[in-house]
Structure 1
């Protein structure tokens, strides 16, 4: 089974000459120390993103565990409330800007997009490397801010609070986010040009993998929204350090304008985190269900629809900010509309699973787990999209429950699914499936035990972002704390599995899943130039059981199970 042909006497034969020339500059394979250098290979950069992001995930997760341990009792008896505020601010910041976004689009996007479209690299390799190397200094600024008290104004950095608390730390926080935003803009330019201009000529647009469609929509959305956040943060930096009064209410500034600038980016940021994960879902499910994806065009165009509609929903974060009635009505409607293209994807994945020859690999388990978690988060999101209910639960733990089901139950589950699915391609070795299932069970239990009770806490009125609370909430908080410990423990088998499998795991072969997208037609791991000869597409990326492409399970790699 193959998706490439190398016909004789075609222009693709000329690539052999180019490859010989290229290999006088580049080795056949990179050494381990090359991953610590300024390397322009998209595959190296993708792994650099993934590993760096995972390190920050561990740091942000440690902050979360400390906060949950503090919340096991109503009093501030573990850490100082100011330190709690700093942990709360930087936990959210690290998880969003240094874990989910860099790993989802920076890690998987850089590694997979050129391979999926038959390109040798990204359009601008040096710009790609620069985009990555802006992230470690950003992380260093955030962690270094703790020497100056830590940013304590929440990840939203709302003025006037951000103007009067730990100004040096707040300035470092702002500079870190500007660096990450710059990285996102540079990377997005690269993705757009690469996908539009560098796919192999034989690949039609209805043969482009859905992960590439999702990455394209994500990059366009980042280009439209990220500069707005950068502008708002630079103005806030001026207010803190240079005596301006853009957002100082006592000097004629307007704090609501900052909220508009912040949320114009930061709600689309939810789609920056989840759209690449949707792309991962669209790749994992057909392969492990051995069925063509249901509604290819609908899923592809729904990514574009989310990109467009997602720019017009930000005010639902501001329903309690004196928003006039007509604006509440408009953004309630737009918020409910954006759920439609998301629902299209959910129904497409469920229909793909229906009747499939499902193999319950670790990748598939996390993909199915994502479906349940994201639907839960999506339903609570629809409730908060309506102004009357949102006003009732605003700034309560109901909001915390919602976005953790969407971002942890959605994005993080998807990242895990992607790692289990493409680990053989990246390393040439299989991950241990038994430990993968242990990882999944612990993660599923920990996620629900941590975040499900928060819905009830919010409905009962417990405010978010506080270290001390009314004793009536102690029982539910203790359940959440136990869940957070289980969730933290779930990372241990995953980390051991990754390290051990990378060193001594079972050899994978080039295509252990018998998948049909182009990245599986090259070696595992791919050579520096990806292919000896550029591939020619001969069929669709999800044609399982179509045109003589087998839908049977590869018996050597997974256990067969009925749907």
Structure 2
């Protein structure tokens, strides 16, 4: 295969390392807070998630102690409800997804033969949002005002009437903050997988783990925004009185369940798929053969991701939904077992046809197979509506959930941590301590949750802090509680093993497991730049085919073997074929992500304590920091020093029309579209399902202003697309003034939307109908204003020669936002105009 890249004849390893270290090296001391390198960020995610896991585990032990015997007074009802809510919240939102995303951030560039993720500062920003959001949520425990309405925050229990304090606000603001991190990581991983693979690595040659992460990241981008919207709406109801879920004013509490489970059921597979990707990576290495049915496994992963979005209502079989919907979602819930079974059969066939070696990672893989299959079988049982009616909200569901999530995520995660432990530390894990940790955890887990199925069948409801004697629940609860401490001892043994490992572990050789993927071609532990030169790939198993590849990489015999130009570079590839298309230059270390996340944390804390003026000032500072951040992108000299030392036929990405920013903007807008369409869904749902959701007698909006604003937005978008077409012909005449004109039209649209919000006779606190209109107008105002500001910023950058025919791709990125804004504006108009009362007459 011909590749337009240059290679080096080789040079001493020390010389290459010194050159790259000068450009890529991580600072020490307090300046380490500015690090944006994916290796450091991934490890920070993993360690922080481990801390939250320990806190959640301690809360679980407290709950099991309370339930060990009837009428136990170890915890009060309020303390139990707070512990229950925080245990689920920490495990679901602050441990499972962030840790797996952190592992993906650490591994994906190394597996794909890249030097870093494509948006390093976005990764750092995501981590700081995760850390500060987690601290906000967890701090509520120490103040005694932790959320107490369940980790699913069902209304009206979580509303201001039944939870008048700030307990629920900690959850709503903190978790929304954390969700920003998840979506940012999702965008980062998708673009990196599609656009920064090693030369020649086509999609069908990607490591199987990358496929799992690609599908998972797409699910995050589409699946998390409904919960973000639901959290915003519930916080607006609690803080400002907008009645989205209040039946007396036209709202409906079932809307919260729809928005939550639109996120919540894909979340199960968002947690499971990366863990299954670990199994599909680890198992072939120790089976000593390639994964059986690679293509079938990829199809199964994609199918699982698709079907998972059609299952959310099976959590709501008991709320009174129509029987036809129950039939559909019951069938979909059973159908998802088919692609899952394909993956299990691929794993079993790989073991059957291979020569398995039972090392520590394989112990956890085998434990996963046993536990997850059992959890899948009870999942099929719960998909049957009559059975679900009997065991809904009992300990049977609790047991099933832990078999699927703990067995389906924690066991593969620990297999992966032991497998990649030499990569993190350069040392091998301890076989003895690791086996003790596995068997204590495996026996303790099954002793805890297998018995809990029986407790649930006996009728014990979940979320109760005590129970009466004589119901037959005493012995099952006592057995579960005893074994929960056995499991805790196993987890403690694992953590002890990890802690001792970094000091006393035996040094690992290069590729100690004889694995096949590129992450084992780096140093152990890896350098900040991963590869001194970027390897070319022509096989799905590069290290099995070319065992000498690590030496070729280290001696700079492959692509991009220099860093003397001062740029952080990695190769940009065609998303399908893997053929190199450009050189992507990456930003260096910066405090801007930390500062932006910190000011956002101030916004959240100010809203929490209703200091709205402070929140407004902090929000303005955040916007200023983000604009400063965006200024040093593209062709800015700090982002892209002089363009010499490029491979023949390739340009820097900022000199093309298809840089990673174009893909990042598109995926960010996909998440934004999911949020907007969830709002449209809420409008249509309330109109059809809530008897009190009726249009007021007055005319809510002026059709003249609406149409005028929409016309200005549409003309500006068409104008911007014309500007992009001219740039593609190297025509930049009048570019600065055209962008200023586009910004002015955007300001007209934003001003018109602001006038509608201020002057229209809507009463957002009076009824849900006007409340949804107000939120929709706020969405359009925010995006219209953003589009105008960014167009003006582009005009300014033209004046500094950061944008033009020589560096043309930024206007194309901005054009995507304007297209999105125009589409959302007219979709909102159509949604409202379907109901003539919203546009009762033209003034």
TM value normalised by structure 2: 0.62
What residue is the counterpart of 2:496 in the other structure? 496
- Which of the residues 328, 350, 353 maps onto 1:352? 350
Residue 441 of structure 1: CA displacement? 0.2
Contact conserved, 2:43 with 2:106, CA < 8 A, in 1? yes
What residue is the counterpart of 2:517 in the other structure? 517
Aligned pair in 2 of structure 1 residues 233, 413: CA closer, same or farther (>3 Å)? Answer: same
Could you tell which deviates more after superposition, 503-512 or 115-124? 503-512
Residue 538 of structure 1: CA displacement? 3.9
What residue is the counterpart of 2:526 in the other structure? 526
Taking only aligned residues, the RMSD between alpha carbons, in angstroms, comes to 2.3
CA distance in 1, matches of 2:371, 2:350: 18
Residue 373 of structure 1: CA displacement? 0.6
- Which of the residues 36, 57, 61 maps onto 2:57? 61
Residue 220 of structure 1: CA displacement? 0.4
What residue is the counterpart of 1:150 in the other structure? 146
Q: Deviations over 1:409-467 (max 9, x none)?
A: 11000110010000101111111011111111001001100100111111111000111
Residue 388 of structure 1: CA displacement? 1.2
Residue 355 of structure 1: CA displacement? 3.7
Aligned pair in 2 of structure 1 residues 548, 9: CA closer, same or farther (>3 Å)? Answer: closer
CA distance in 2, matches of 1:436, 1:388: 43
- Which of the residues 415, 418, 421 maps onto 1:420? 418
Contact conserved, 1:131 with 1:187, CA < 8 A, in 2? yes
Structure with more contact order per residue of length (Cα contacts < 8 Å, sep ≥ 6): 1
Residue 109 (str. 1) matches residue 104 (str. 2):
yes
CA distance in 1, matches of 2:402, 2:170: 26
Written as runs of structure 1 = structure 2, the 5 A alignment for 1:155-554 is 155-163=151-159, 164-165=162-163, 167-471=165-469, 472-541=472-541
Could you tell which deviates more after superposition, 493-502 or 328-337? 493-502
Residue 541 of structure 1: CA displacement? 2.5
Contact conserved, 2:146 with 2:170, CA < 8 A, in 1? no
Residue 25 of structure 1: CA displacement? 3.1
Q: Deviations over 1:211-239 (max 9, x none)?
A: 10000000100111111110011101111
Q: Deviations over 1:49-81 (max 9, x none)?
A: 111111110000000000000001121410111
Q: Deviations over 1:365-400 (max 9, x none)?
A: 001110111001110001101111111110000100
Contact conserved, 1:93 with 1:155, CA < 8 A, in 2? yes
Q: Deviations over 1:251-285 (max 9, x none)?
A: 33201111000000011000111110011000110
What residue is the counterpart of 1:558 in the other structure? none
CA distance in 1, matches of 2:456, 2:3: 66
Contact conserved, 1:510 with 1:523, CA < 8 A, in 2? yes
Aligned pair in 2 of structure 1 residues 326, 34: CA closer, same or farther (>3 Å)? Answer: farther
Q: Deviations over 1:197-221 (max 9, x none)?
A: 0001211222101110000000100
Contact conserved, 2:96 with 2:271, CA < 8 A, in 1? yes
Contact conserved, 1:517 with 1:542, CA < 8 A, in 2? yes
Contact conserved, 1:148 with 1:166, CA < 8 A, in 2? no
Aligned pair in 2 of structure 1 residues 542, 34: CA closer, same or farther (>3 Å)? Answer: farther
What residue is the counterpart of 2:619 in the other structure? none
Equivalent residue pairs, number = 540
Q: Deviations over 1:68-121 (max 9, x none)?
A: 0000112141011111000000100101111111111x2210111000111100
Residue 536 of structure 1: CA displacement? 1.5
Residue 542 of structure 1: CA displacement? 8.5
- Which of the residues 128, 133, 152 maps onto 1:133? 128
Aligned pair in 2 of structure 1 residues 35, 361: CA closer, same or farther (>3 Å)? Answer: farther
Residue 35 of structure 1: CA displacement? 10
Q: Deviations over 1:28-61 (max 9, x none)?
A: x776x68962321111111111111111100000
Residue 71 (str. 1) matches residue 96 (str. 2):
no
Contact conserved, 2:518 with 2:543, CA < 8 A, in 1? no
Contact conserved, 2:360 with 2:435, CA < 8 A, in 1? yes
CA distance in 2, matches of 1:166, 1:36: 42
Residue 504 of structure 1: CA displacement? 2.4
Q: Deviations over 1:310-364 (max 9, x none)?
A: 1111000000011100000010111111111111111100111114221211110
TM value normalised by structure 1: 0.92
Residue 548 of structure 1: CA displacement? 9.4
CA distance in 2, matches of 1:542, 1:466: 54
CA distance in 2, matches of 1:314, 1:9: 48
Gaps of 5+ in 1: 550-563
Contact conserved, 1:432 with 1:505, CA < 8 A, in 2? yes
Contact conserved, 1:148 with 1:168, CA < 8 A, in 2? no
Residue 10 of structure 1: CA displacement? 5.2
Contact conserved, 1:35 with 1:44, CA < 8 A, in 2? no
What residue is the counterpart of 1:123 in the other structure? 118
Q: Secondary structure at the match of 1:406?
A: helix
Aligned pair in 2 of structure 1 residues 8, 246: CA closer, same or farther (>3 Å)? Answer: closer
CA distance in 2, matches of 1:511, 1:8: 27
CA distance in 2, matches of 1:194, 1:400: 37
Aligned pair in 2 of structure 1 residues 374, 216: CA closer, same or farther (>3 Å)? Answer: same
Residue 543 of structure 1: CA displacement? 8.9
Aligned pair in 2 of structure 1 residues 477, 44: CA closer, same or farther (>3 Å)? Answer: same
What residue is the counterpart of 1:561 in the other structure? none
Aligned pair in 2 of structure 1 residues 442, 253: CA closer, same or farther (>3 Å)? Answer: same
CA distance in 2, matches of 1:34, 1:125: 19
Runs of 4+ in 1 over 4 A off after TM superposition: 7-10, 14-22, 33-36
Could you tell which deviates more after superposition, 194-203 or 530-539? 530-539
CA distance in 2, matches of 1:445, 1:268: 29
Q: Deviations over 1:478-528 (max 9, x none)?
A: 000011101111122212211111122110122000101010111111111
CA distance in 1, matches of 2:506, 2:258: 52
Aligned pair in 2 of structure 1 residues 8, 501: CA closer, same or farther (>3 Å)? Answer: farther
Gaps of 5+ in 2: 548-843
- Which of the residues 85, 91, 114 maps onto 1:95? 91
CA distance in 2, matches of 1:21, 1:100: 38
Could you tell which deviates more after superposition, 493-502 or 391-400? 493-502
Contact conserved, 1:516 with 1:542, CA < 8 A, in 2? yes
Residue 136 of structure 1: CA displacement? 1.5
Aligned pair in 2 of structure 1 residues 426, 209: CA closer, same or farther (>3 Å)? Answer: same
Q: Deviations over 1:161-185 (max 9, x none)?
A: 0012253121011111101111111
Contact conserved, 2:69 with 2:474, CA < 8 A, in 1? yes
